[in-house]
Amino acid sequence: MATPSVLFVCVSNRGKSRMAAALATKYAGSSLDVYSAGTRPGSGMNAESAAAVAEVGADMTRDYPKPVDPDLLRSVDRVVILGSNAQLTMPSDARGTFERWVTDEPSLRGIEGMERMRLIRDDIDVRVRGLLRELVPEEER
């Protein structure tokens, strides 16, 4: 059986999509092929995002912001857009499914800094665990 795959996408690929990828990799290991990309990739990484996922044992520092690869977009089992700002059209020949996670945005409630990042991380974490229940058999997680 082929290893399932997921591509997490946000605008800059500096924060949310990389957080999701790091958490998915932490939980699924080699039982899931995990990718992340940005619709308009930035440079570097969001240090607060990296610190927030590191607090729960995930690592997003080995990756870097990159654009969406059209071939990857066509071939993965699931494409997950994080947030409401990233816009992406699935190719007509894509084999996988597409979904959008409108993630918590604590700054709209006046919450900033690491408290904000932890709330975003926790929201993404719950969603990633749900996705893994769909894509990866329990005995492989």
Domains of the chain: 5-140 (3.40.50.2300)
- Return d(Cα 127, Cα 122) in angstroms, integer: 9
Quick one: average pLDDT of 20-28? 97
* Weakest-pLDDT range from 20-24, 32-36, 102-106: 102-106
Quick one: average pLDDT of 29-47? 94
pLDDT tops 90 at residue 139: no
**pLDDT confidence tier of residue 25, bands split at 50, 70 and 90:** very high
Phi, psi for residue 43 in degrees, rounded to 5:
-120, 150
Please write the tens of the pLDDT for every residue from 67-91.
999 999 999 999 999 999 999 999 9
pLDDT tops 70 at residue 140: yes
Asked if residue 6 lies in contact with residue 17, where contact means CB atoms within 8 angstroms, the answer is: no
- Return d(Cα 3, Cα 116) in angstroms, integer: 34
Quick one: average pLDDT of 41-46? 91
pLDDT value, residue 1: 65
Here the tokens at position 87 are 């816009």
